[in-house]
């Protein structure tokens, strides 16, 4: 067995992701991949940091091949799930098993800071990112 050394970085050293498109659900948000297959060599875990200014959102989406957690570090907003929307605020910890729809919108007047991760995937492609089709129905509009 080959043992890799631990990986360490700082938020200041990690560039913002530049390939996020609004038509893929990434609306006015800043994302950093702190640890993933490219940064740290992790094939089974991704850890990220997201800043959502007021009004920014990550539209409802799912991951077919990864579970997701997020920790709301500051700010407030709404979590979008399979069954609707729920208010969320600093201190909330949310776990979304793979295959469940989820999203987040900043409904407040200050930035929302999220620390999040995918278990089972070292990249967005490996997580199985998907958007709703016209046939998917939810209890609320997204």
pTM, whole model, 2 decimals? 0.93
Token pair of 41, please? Answer: 């060599």
- The domain segmentation of the chain, as residue ranges, is 11-129
pLDDT at 141: 55
Answer whether CATH 2.60.120.10 is correct for domain 11-129.
Answer: yes
pLDDT tens digit sequence for 44-89: 999 999 999 999 999 999 999 999 999 999 999 999 988 889 999 9
Helix (H) or strand (E) holding 127: helix 124-127
Query: Of 142, 73, 62, which Cα lies nearest the Cα of 105?
Result: 142
| Sign for the pseudo-dihedral over CA of 66, 116, 60, 96 | positive
């Amino acid at each position: 067995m080959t043992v890799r050394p631990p990986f360490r970085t700082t938020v200041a050293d990690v560039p913002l992701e530049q390939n996020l498109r609004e038509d893929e659900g990434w609306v006015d948000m800043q994302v950093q991949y702190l640890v993933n297959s490219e940064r740290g060599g992790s094939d089974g875990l991704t850890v990220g940091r997201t800043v959502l200014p007021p009004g920014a959102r990550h539209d409802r989406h799912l991951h077919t091949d990864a579970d997701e957690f997020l920790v709301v570090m500051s700010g407030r907003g709404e979590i979008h799930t399979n069954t609707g929307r729920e208010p969320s605020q600093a201190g909330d910890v949310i776990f979304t098993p793979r295959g469940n729809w989820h999203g987040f919108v900043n409904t407040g007047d200050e930035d929302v800071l999220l620390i999040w991760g995918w278990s089972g995937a070292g990249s967005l492609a490996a997580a199985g990112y998907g958007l709703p089709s016209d046939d998917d129905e939810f209890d609320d509009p997204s």
